[in-house]
Amino acid sequence: MIATAASNRRWKRIFLIAGAILAAYALLAPLTSLDAAQSANIPLLADKFWLRIATSIAMFVVMATAWNIIGGITGYAAFGNVAFFGIGAYTTGMLVAKAKWPFLLALPLAPVVAAAFAILVGLPLLRLRGHYFAVASLGVGVAVGELVQNIDYRGQPVFGGASGLFLPIFRIANRDLFFFYLMSAAAVLSIAVTWWVLRSRFGYGLIAIRENEEAASVLGVNTTAYKVASFGLAAALTGLAGGIFSQWNVFVNQDNVFPIEYNVQMILMALLGGTGTVFGPAAGAVLLYLLIQFLGGTLPISFDIPFVSTDARPIVAQIILGLLLIVVVIFVPRGVIDFFGGRTRLSLSYLRRSLRETSL
């Protein structure tokens, strides 16, 4: 079936409405009284477990959307952005745990410090292109994690060292709900920033850099300033997520806030959803996170893998995840947002076309 403009618009409208309903449900449902929700036994988001899942999803939405700014829009695939998450987490963590600042006062400093670091490191780093930039940013990401954990001053670890930082448990009613809204606010902020960027002169400049940096420079775009600003913006948003995480999780150490696999996950989410778009990374974050949880057996809907013993089940689940990743990367290179945006329809011919475009 050939997709006509009219049917495209129809699909687009359907997905838009579905998305709006989902978002409204997600954001308003927790407001229903927690006790009533629990006793009614409906899996509303008021359930603490779903709140944790939803908060984690929101966290990844922030990270994926933030990455999209430097990776998708500007075309500089940074591979070490988890460093900013960790820096944000440690900034807020240190202020709250060691300097005894109140959390809400310490939080705004997380994006500031992360952005400052990004600008400092970005100036030399952003002179590199393609692979070299990716690898260099990976190197920075790894090195930062190591340094933060291990720096001593006169024999005592500066940043809490290997024992990590313990923040006091945040005293507020409906704590899980509070952090869900806080993280969701950060997610909405990231999406709003992306939306603004894509419609601004700044955004046009970034896209120009992505398409052809030399031409952009010739046309008068201050590529260095734009690139560094983009990197700083991505870092700030990622750092904000880290700052919120530190108080939400109460415990901060290298394993928690500098996990190398987050680098890949946030990129994968952006790619899955569609780089360079406003809602793509968010869609990708939701999908991939739920997929990972589903395969791990965390979600209430479980499935049985035939012929597999209980011991082997978690291992096989990981294998399935890996295979799914491979399949998706091969067949959906432009991201699922294509479908939700109504630009294309999921059909066999689409899959065959993508395959032909990218394979040898």
Partner 1 sequence: MANFVQLVILGLLAGGVYVAVGVGFGLVWGVLNIVNLAHGALVIIGGYITWQLVTALHLDPFLTLPVDAVALFVLGYALQRGVINRIIRAPLLFTFLLTFGLNLVLVNVLLLIFGSDFRSVTPAYAGKGLEFGSIVIPYVALISLAAAILLSAALAFILNRTRIGLAINAIAADRDAAQLVGIDLRHAYAVTYGLGAACAGVAGGLIALIQAITPTAGEPYTLQAFVVVILGGLGRVSATVVGGLAFGLVEAFGQSIPGSGSVFANAIAFGLMVLVLVTRPQGLMGRLR
Partner 2 sequence: MSGRKLALLAVAALAAFACGTTSAGPTTGSTIVLGAPLGLTGSLTKESNLTLQGYNLWLDWINAQGGIVVKGVKHPVALKYYDDTSSANQSAVLMQKLITEDKANFLLGPYGSAATATDAAIAEQNQIPMVEANGAAQAIFNQGYKYTFGVLSPANKYLQGVIDMAATLSPKPTTVSILSADDNFSLEVANAINDYAPGKGINVVLFKKYKNGATNLSAEVQAAKAANADIVLNSGHLTEAIAINKAAKEQKLNAKIFAYSVGPSTPDFISALGADANFVYDGSQWTPQVKYTPAFYLSESDYVAAYKAKYPGLGDPDYHVAESTAACLALQRAIENAGSLDATKVRDALAALDVTVFFGQIKFDTRGINTYKPMVVEQIQNGVHHTVFPASVADAKPMYPTPNWDQR
**Rule CB under 8 A: which residues touch partner 1?**
71, 77, 79, 124-125, 127-128, 130-132, 134-136, 138-140, 142-143, 146-147, 150, 152, 264, 267-268, 271, 312, 315-316, 318-319, 321-326, 329-330, 333, 355, 357-360
User: Residue written as tokens 């750092």?
Assistant: 239
For 135, residues 6+ apart whose C-beta sits below 8 A from its C-beta are 79
Alpha-carbon separation of residue 193 from 79, 92, 174, 345 (angstroms): 21, 22, 29, 28
Is 300 a residue that touches partner 2 (CB under 8 A)?
yes
Choose from partner 1, partner 2, none: what does 172 bind? Cβ within 5-8 Å by kind: none
CB atoms within 10 A of CB 280: 28
Q: Pattern 163-182, binding to partner 2, x per CB under 8 A?
A: xx-x--x-----x-------
Is 139 a residue that touches partner 2 (CB under 8 A)?
no
51 in Cβ contact with 34 (< 8 Å): no
What is the rounded radius of gyration, in angstroms, for the C-alpha atoms of the chain? 21
User: Residue written as tokens 């394979």?
Assistant: 359
Q: How many residues bind partner 2 (CB under 8 A)?
A: 33
Residue type, 77: A
CB atoms within 10 A of CB 252: 28
Structure tokens given for 276: 């360079």
Residue type, 334: R
CB atoms within 10 A of CB 228: 19
248 pairs with which residues across the strands?
none
Choose from partner 2, partner 1, none: what does 169 bind? Cβ within 5-8 Å by kind: partner 2
Q: Which stretch binds partner 2 (CB under 8 A): 6-14, 102-110, 146-154, 329-337?
A: 146-154
Is 306 a residue that touches partner 2 (CB under 8 A)?
no
Q: Compute the distance between CA of residue 182 and CA of residue 184 in angstroms, rounded to an integer.
A: 5
Choose from partner 1, partner 2, none: what does 19 bind? Cβ within 5-8 Å by kind: none
Choose from partner 2, partner 1, none: what does 140 bind? Cβ within 5-8 Å by kind: partner 1
Select 276 or 341, whichever has its Cβ closest to partner 1: 276
Is 56 a residue that touches partner 2 (CB under 8 A)?
yes
Choose from partner 1, partner 2, none: what does 131 bind? Cβ within 5-8 Å by kind: partner 1
Q: Which stretch binds partner 2 (CB under 8 A): 49-57, 125-133, 203-211, 223-231?
A: 49-57
CB atoms within 10 A of CB 39: 9
334 in Cβ contact with 354 (< 8 Å): yes
Which one of residues 318, 347, 349, 358 is an interface residue with partner 2 (CB under 8 A)? Answer: 318
Choose from partner 2, partner 1, none: what does 175 bind? Cβ within 5-8 Å by kind: partner 2
Select 150 or 224, whichever has its Cβ closest to partner 1: 150
Q: Which stretch binds partner 2 (CB under 8 A): 76-84, 251-259, 277-285, 351-359?
A: 251-259
Structure tokens given for 1: 């079936």
Q: Compute the distance between CA of residue 257 and CA of residue 146 in angstroms, rounded to an integer.
A: 12
Is 52 a residue that touches partner 2 (CB under 8 A)?
yes
- Give the ranges where the chain is alpha helix by DSSP (H): 5-28, 34-40, 48-68, 82-97, 103-106, 109-125, 130-150, 175-199, 201-211, 213-218, 223-249, 254-257, 260-273, 280-295, 313-331, 337-340, 348-358
Q: Pattern 195-234, binding to partner 2, x per CB under 8 A?
A: ----------------------------------------
**Pairing between β-strand 251-252 and β-strand 152-153 as defined by DSSP bridges:** unpaired
Which one of residues 65, 81, 92, 149 is an interface residue with partner 2 (CB under 8 A)? Answer: 149
Choose from partner 1, partner 2, none: what does 259 bind? Cβ within 5-8 Å by kind: partner 2
Contact residues for partner 2 (CB under 8 A)?
Answer: 47-49, 52-53, 56, 146, 149-150, 161-164, 166, 169, 175, 249-251, 253, 255-256, 259, 261, 293, 296-298, 300, 314-315, 317-318
